[in-house]
A and B are shown apart, each in its own frame.
Chain A
Amino acid sequence: MEMKPLTRVLLGLVCLLVAIWLVAPTLVVVPMSFNENKSLAFPPQGFSWQWYQNFATNPDWSNAFLNSLKVASIVAVLATVLGTLAAFGLDRMKARPANLLRMLMLTPMVVPGVVLAIGIYAVYLDTQLVGTLIGFVLAHTILALPFVLIAVSASLEVFDRRLETAAASLGAGALTTFRTVTLPLIAPGVLSGLLFAFATSFDEIVVSLFITNPYLKTLPVQIFASITRDADPTVAAVGTILLFATTILIGGGMLLLGRERKGRP
């Protein structure tokens, strides 16, 4: 599109501001995490590692972190298995029932968090699941399922089903065909589903706030409690750690993906 130079400069400037607005605010946790004072006021004073030490040694924080890791790992596996099976089922169904069921399975993405949270809380109170590992796992799995379904379905859409026919015509059974032909080819979709499921569970807060109790807290619940209770810079330290962990994970994943793509003919 032909643009006047002035329009061009203005457009670039606006987009630069939007990009800064998207990325920069999160970085503010980094300087705050080295604050010497127990305060989140800006600018931070001095330099200290004490909040990182607090994160590692204070059982409130370290337990919450370990709980989150545990829940998210189980959820990632469970949601990936259930979501992959479901994606296969939908792929092999007639269009009408498949579309209906797919819509049903994506509802967790659009139901307002608090509505779902009070519903699950009500049921968990009756079934004594509040503050239990299985309670967290079930709730997070259903929230993570749509992401796995979307990722695996996308892989299946470009998968050439004639390959399965070929394997079958050479005598491979259904399971062998799945294990040796289908699964390796849709592996990227399954893997990204796994990652998304882990991230969804690790970051889930709304439902978690309702089904938590003093015996089982996840990291986001602990962060939320800390923000509302006092200005403890430990949250900034946790935020910084999470920021770097995700950057390294995603950056590493992209490097691997790029190398794999380059390696292919």
Chain B
Amino acid sequence: MSASDPIAPPAADQRPGKAWRPFALTAPALILLVAVIGYPLLTIVLRSLSEPEWGLQNYAWFFGAPVNLTVLQRTFVISAWVTLVCVIAAYPYAYLMTAVGPRVRLVLVLCVLIPFWVSGVVRTLSWVILLQDSGVINSLLRGVGFSGVKLIRTQTGVVIGMAQVLLPFMILPLYSVMKGIDLRLMRAAQSLGARPSRAFLTVYLPLSLPGVYAGAIIVFILSLGFYITPALLGGPRSTMLSTLVQTQVLSLLQWGRGGAMGVVLLVTTFVLLALAAPVMRSRHREAGRH
């Protein structure tokens, strides 16, 4: 169609023979996607299978060495802790967001969004300053009589820092589900004689669980691949899988082994996403109804 066409037909998809137009619009992005994501990931998979020679040796090495399994297990444990801390902190917070007036809610929303605006590297730097042996938290603890609490280069430090970075990803889905819960159901339960705690456990909690699942899955998946925070806040005893991948590739030049670890991390992520997809979809439907 040319710009001089006097009676231009309305929308592209209603015209026969022009069905390729929308695909042409997405083509530049797709080409870049294939070149900068698809091809590199393929390279990594191939290297994990072919270096130094073809076969599954790199995977056999990964699952055969106790050190690697320890790190793999630790990655899961740290991610689980981070997810748990996020759920515990986010649940009351998201609830309060639904229960207060618009002014207080704006303040609460701002507190969630501010961390998004601030550079991730700067936020991790702040945690280094706070948690180090001569840091703020240790100075405060010394003031009340505790001395030499080890926070930096420990798993506790890593979990505290990671949970803070990931908390917004938990609060926002939780809030979007809680917003849709009809509070009259709680009143109905109480008018039928249920104590507030019982009404909460049997009515409110089950209704809010889809939000907990959605947030928990996002936080867990993002935690698995974390690199910067564990690298700066962690020590040798809190190494996560990402750091191991980096060491294999940059320090040891073992592309095969590093690649195999990367593929394990990638496959785990996508399997979790696939498992989570049905839950997410049902939440979507739920949200659509309200």
Contacts and interface: CB of A to CB of B under 8 A. Distances in A.
A114 B132 contact: no
A117 to B, nearest CB: 8
B108 A2 contact: no
A122 B44 contact: yes
Given A122-B47, A223-B121, A235-B125, A3 B196 contact: yes
Interface stretch (A54-62, A163-171, A184-192): A163-171
B269 A112 contact: yes
Interface in A1-45: 1-4, 7, 11-12, 14-15, 18-19, 21-23, 25-29, 32, 40-43
A105 interface: yes
A227 B121 CA distance: 10
Contacts of B221: 110
Interface in B109-156: 111-112, 114-115, 117-123, 125-130, 132, 134-136, 139
A101 interface: yes
B122 A239 contact: yes
Given A223-B121, A227-B128, A123 B32 contact: no
A48 to B, nearest CB: 17
Interface string B200-240: 10001000000000000000010011011001100000000
Contact of B30 (A27, A101, A246): A101
A25 B126 contact: yes
Most buried by B among A94, A139, A145, A239: A239
Contacts of A122: 40, 43-44, 47, 255
A85 B115 CA distance: 30
Interface in B158-205: 164, 167-168, 183, 186-187, 190, 196, 199-200, 204
B67 interface: no
A21 B164 contact: yes
A138 B196 contact: no
A11 B98 CA distance: 13
Contacts of B255: 118, 122
B225 A112 contact: yes
A92 B242 contact: no
B265 interface: yes
B269 A42 contact: no
B126 A29 contact: yes
A49 to B, nearest CB: 19
Contact of A105 (B30, B40, B41, B117): B30
A102 B23 CA distance: 12
Contact of B22 (A92, A123, A165, A223): A92
Most buried by B among A18, A86, A111, A149: A18
Nearest to B186: A1
Given A23-B111, A114-B227, A119-B41, A28 B126 contact: yes
A247 interface: yes
Contacts of B270: 110
A104 B30 contact: yes
B246 interface: yes
Contacts of A105: 26, 29-30, 33
A112 B242 contact: yes
Given A22-B111, A93-B13, A142-B32, A114 B92 contact: no
Given A29-B125, A173-B1, A118 B258 contact: yes
Contact of A111 (B37, B114, B231, B246): B37
Most buried by B among A117, A149, A171, A228: A117
Interface in B53-104: 89-90, 92-93, 95-96, 99
Given A85-B26, A112-B225, 6 more contacts: A40-B129, A105-B30, A123-B40, A169-B7, A173-B5, A223-B121
Interface of B: 1-13, 21-30, 32-33, 35-37, 39-41, 43-44, 47, 89-90, 92-93, 95-96, 99, 108, 111-112, 114-115, 117-123, 125-130, 132, 134-136, 139, 164, 167-168, 183, 186-187, 190, 196, 199-200, 204, 221, 224-225, 227-228, 231-232, 242, 245-246, 249-250, 255, 258-259, 262-263, 265-266, 269-270, 273
Interface of A: 1-4, 7, 11-12, 14-15, 18-19, 21-23, 25-29, 32, 40-43, 82-83, 85-86, 88-94, 97, 101, 104-105, 107-108, 110-123, 138-139, 141-142, 145, 149, 161, 164-165, 168-169, 171-177, 199, 202-203, 205-206, 210, 220, 223-224, 227-228, 235-236, 238-239, 242-243, 246-247, 250
27 contacts: A2-B186, A2-B190, A22-B115, A23-B111, A41-B132, A42-B139, A92-B25, A93-B22, A93-B26, A105-B29, A108-B33, A111-B41, A112-B269, A114-B265, A115-B265, A116-B41, A118-B44, A119-B41, A122-B44, A123-B39, A139-B36, A145-B32, A164-B11, A168-B8, A227-B232, A228-B231, A236-B129
